[in-house]
Structure 1
Amino acid sequence: MSLKKIAQTLGISVTTASRALNDHDDVAKDTKQKVFKAAKAMGYRPNASARSLKMGKSYVIGLVYPFHVDVLNDICFTQMIDSLNKELNQLGFDLLLIPDENKDEIPVFHRLLSSQRVDALLIAHTFMDDARLRYLVKHQFPFIALGRSNLSAEFAWFDFDNQQGIRMAIDYLVQQGHQKIAYIGGNQPLTFIHLRRTGYVLGMQSAQLAFNDEDCQMTEMNRRGGYQACQVLLTRHASQIPTAIITDCNMIADGVAMALEQYMQRNPKRTKPVLITYDGLPLDTLSNYPYSTITQSTRNLVGKQIANMLVQLLAGEEIKNLQVLWQPVLKIHSPNH
C-alpha cells in the first residue's frame, strides 16, 4: 500500500499525507488523526529508519512495567502486551519493554528522556501516589498511564472501573441472600488494588453488612497467597465461615479455589462458598471449583484502545480527551463453569 493511495482516499495531497504521518506542526490535528487511521486500515508501513533520520524521532514506545514474578505470571497482562505490540507495529511503531526493577525509577526516566530513545511512554501498574507520573508531567514528556493516580495535574490514562466491578459482585451476592461475604486481594500499593479493596468496603457498607479486618484478607498476588488467605477464612468457627468470597486477581483466585476444593472434600455436607474473581482462573489451573467472573473486556480490544490513544497523543490531542474509563462486566457461570 502506497502513501499516494492514502492521499487519494482522503482527498488530500501526498505531501500533506506524508507530513501528517511525520507529525509536522503545520498539519491540522484532525487531519493527522484521519491519516493515521487510514494508514492503519490500509496496512501502510512507512520506512521507520528513514523517518527516524529525517524527523529526529525514534518511532519507539516504551512500556514501563514492574519486574516482578507476579506481574510476569499474569496472563491478562502479557496478552495485553502482545495485542498492543501488534497494533503499534501496524502503525509503524516498535514497543520497547522497560522493566521497573528499582525503588527509585527517576534515574531510568532521566536517561530515557535525555537519550530520546522513545517518543512516548506507557506506565503500567500505577500507584496512588506515583513519583514517576509526576516526573513525566514536570518534564512535559508524552505518556499514558495504564491506571489512575492522585496527581494534581491532568494526564492521559486508560483504566477500568475497578471499584465498580467489586460492587457489582457484592450487589449480586446480596440479591442471592448472602450476608457473610469475604474479600481476598493483593497487598501491593497499586491503584487498582486500592480501588478494588475500596469497592469491597463501600459495597458492604451500602448493603449494611457487617465485616471486619479478618474478612478482608490482603496477601501476595499468587496461588500460595490466595491459598493461605483462604485457609484463614476457613479455619474459623463454622458459623463465621463466609458463604461467598471475592478475589481481585486470577492468580489469588486459583489458590482460593484449591483451598475451597479441599475444604469441601473434608466437609461434603456443607454448602459450597461462592467464588467470584476478577479475570477468571488462569489457563493452567488444575481446579474444577465453580466460579463467576468480573471481566474487563478482551486483551485485543484493550491493546487497540491504548494504541489508538498513543496515536492521538502524539498527534497533539488534548489530554482531557485521553482519559478513558471502561466498565467491567459481571459474568455469572453455572456450577459446572
Structure 2
Amino acid sequence: MSLKELSQRLGLSQTTVSRALNGYPEVSERTRQRVMQLAREMNYRPNPSAKSLATGRTEHIGIVLPIEKNLFVEPLFGEYLAGVAQFLAEADMDITMIPTPFSQELAVYDQLAMSGRVDGLLVSSPAVQDARVTSLVGSNLPFVVHGRTHCDQAYSYCDIDNQGAFASATRLLIELGHQHIGLINGDHSLNYAHDRFLGYKSTLEQYNITYDPSLCVQGEITEESGFNAAAQLLMHRPRPSAFLISNMIFVLGAMRALRQHGLEPGYDVAIIVHDDHLPYLQADKFDPPLTTTSSSIRKAGYEITKMLHHEIELGHTASAKQQKLMEVDLVIRGSTRIRRN
C-alpha cells in the first residue's frame, strides 16, 4: 500500500498522514492514533527515502569501530551491541558501523558530525582524557557516551558507579580479614578501569592498608591475560589472600592459574569479580559460585540508545544533557569466606 492509498482511505491529505506517521506535534493525538491504527491494519511501511526527505533524518545511528580492536569478537561488546539492537528494533531505526584505522578515528568523527550521514553517535570505551568527546561537544551532532571522561563541557553519558562498586568490594574483603588483595584490571588509561582502581586504592587507604602497586596488574580482556595476571600475583610475597577481578573473562584465567598452583578458588584465595551478565558465563554456576559486583552491559546498551534516540527527537531544542548512573549490586556468594589464619 502506498501513502496515497492510505491517505484516500482515511480521507486525509498525504501531508497530514505523513506528519502523523512521523510524529510531528502539530497533528492531533486523535488523528495520529487513527492513522497509526489503519497503517498497522494495512501493514503499511513508509518508503525509507521518502521518510528521510520528510523528516530530514536518516533514521540511522552510528558507531565508529577502530579496526585494530577487533570488537566483533569481544564478548562484552557483543552483549552491549545486543542491547543497542533491541532498542533500535523497537524504535524502527538502523545502525551504521563505520570501521576505521585508529590513526584516522578523530577525522572520521569530524566527518560524521558534518556530513549528516547518521542522526547521532554512540561512543564507547572512553579514555580518562578522550579527544573524541572533546571534539563532539563542539558539534551539533547528538551523541551519548557509554562511560565517562574528563571534559570541561557537559555531555550526555550512561555509566555505572565503577569506583563505588570496587570500593564496596574491597571493603567486604578487608572486613573478612584480607590485607593483601590483588587487583586484576583492564587498561588504566580507560576511565572505567581507572575508576575501579581508584575505588580499590582509596578503600585500602581508609583502612590504613599500604597500597602496593605490585599487587595491581593490567591487561587486555582475554582469558590468557587473566591467567598471566593471577600467576604473577601468586609469586608476590606475601601471597595475596584475595583477588578483585574486573570481568568474567579474566576470572576464567585466574581460576585456572589458582588450580595449577594447587590452590582452591574461594578457599585458599577469595574472589570478587565484576559481572556484566554475559549469558554463557553465569557467576552463580561457577564452582564455587562467585561473589560479584553486578550490572548488565546489555541493559546499558539499551539505555544509552534510548537516551540517544531522545536527543535525536528533541533536535536542537535539547538543552540539559542526560547523565545516567546505573546501579551496581554487590552479590555475595561462595567465593568470599572469612579468611583462615
TM-score class, shorter-chain normalisation, is 0.7 to 0.9
What is the match of residue 275 of structure 1? 271
**3-state DSSP class of the match of 1:315?**
helix
Instruction: Give runs of aligned pairs for residues 102-141 of structure 1, distance below 5 A.
Output: 102-141=102-141
Instruction: Give runs of aligned pairs for residues 1-337 of structure 1, distance below 5 A.
Output: 19=19, 22=22, 46-69=46-69, 71-187=71-187, 189-237=189-237, 240-263=238-261, 265=262, 271-279=267-275, 283=280, 288=287, 290-297=289-296, 299=298, 301-316=299-314, 318=318, 320-335=320-335
Structure 1 length-normalised TM: 0.79
**3-state DSSP class of the match of 2:211?**
coil
Q: Counterpart amino acid of 1:117?
A: R
Relative distance call for 1:165 and 1:284 in structure 2 (3 A) is closer
What is the match of residue 6 of structure 1? none
Q: How many residues align?
A: 311
Kept in 1: contact 2:248–2:281 (CA 8 A): no
Q: Percent identity?
A: 28
Q: CA deviation at 1:304?
A: 3.0
- What root-mean-square deviation, in Å, do the aligned CA atoms of Structure 1 and Structure 2 show? 3.5
Kept in 2: contact 1:46–1:92 (CA 8 A): no
CA distance in structure 1 between the partners assigned to 2:148 and 2:161 by the alignment: 10
Q: CA deviation at 1:284?
A: 6.6
Relative distance call for 1:45 and 1:148 in structure 2 (3 A) is farther
Q: Counterpart amino acid of 1:294?
A: T
Q: Counterpart amino acid of 1:150?
A: H
Q: Deviations over 1:5-46 (max 9, x none)?
A: xxxxxxxxx97895476475x769xx9xx99xx99xx99975
Relative distance call for 1:249 and 1:45 in structure 2 (3 A) is farther
Kept in 2: contact 1:226–1:255 (CA 8 A): yes
Relative distance call for 1:71 and 1:243 in structure 2 (3 A) is farther
Q: Deviations over 1:198-253 (max 9, x none)?
A: 1111121122222311111122322222211211111233xx11111011122222
What is the match of residue 6 of structure 2? none
Q: Deviations over 1:281-307 (max 9, x none)?
A: 9637997465322111361x3233223
Q: Deviations over 1:164-211 (max 9, x none)?
A: 111111121122122211111122521111111111111211222223
Structure 2 runs not aligned, ≥5 long: 4-13, 337-341
CA distance in structure 2 between the partners assigned to 1:281 and 1:159 by the alignment: 15
CA distance in structure 2 between the partners assigned to 1:256 and 1:90 by the alignment: 39
**3-state DSSP class of the match of 1:192?**
helix
Relative distance call for 1:281 and 1:68 in structure 2 (3 A) is farther
Structure 2 length-normalised TM: 0.79
**3-state DSSP class of the match of 2:256?**
helix
CA distance in structure 1 between the partners assigned to 2:105 and 2:335 by the alignment: 46
Relative distance call for 1:228 and 1:298 in structure 2 (3 A) is closer
Relative distance call for 1:277 and 1:271 in structure 2 (3 A) is closer
Q: Deviations over 1:104-155 (max 9, x none)?
A: 4222123323332100000011112111112111122111111111111111
Relative distance call for 1:17 and 1:321 in structure 2 (3 A) is farther
Q: CA deviation at 1:73?
A: 4.0
Q: Counterpart amino acid of 2:195?
A: L
Relative distance call for 1:287 and 1:216 in structure 2 (3 A) is same
CA distance in structure 1 between the partners assigned to 2:44 and 2:138 by the alignment: 35
Larger Rg: 2
Structure 1 runs not aligned, ≥5 long: 4-13
CA distance in structure 2 between the partners assigned to 1:44 and 1:202 by the alignment: 58
CA distance in structure 2 between the partners assigned to 1:311 and 1:327 by the alignment: 22
Relative distance call for 1:158 and 1:241 in structure 2 (3 A) is same
CA distance in structure 2 between the partners assigned to 1:19 and 1:302 by the alignment: 32
CA distance in structure 2 between the partners assigned to 1:243 and 1:222 by the alignment: 23
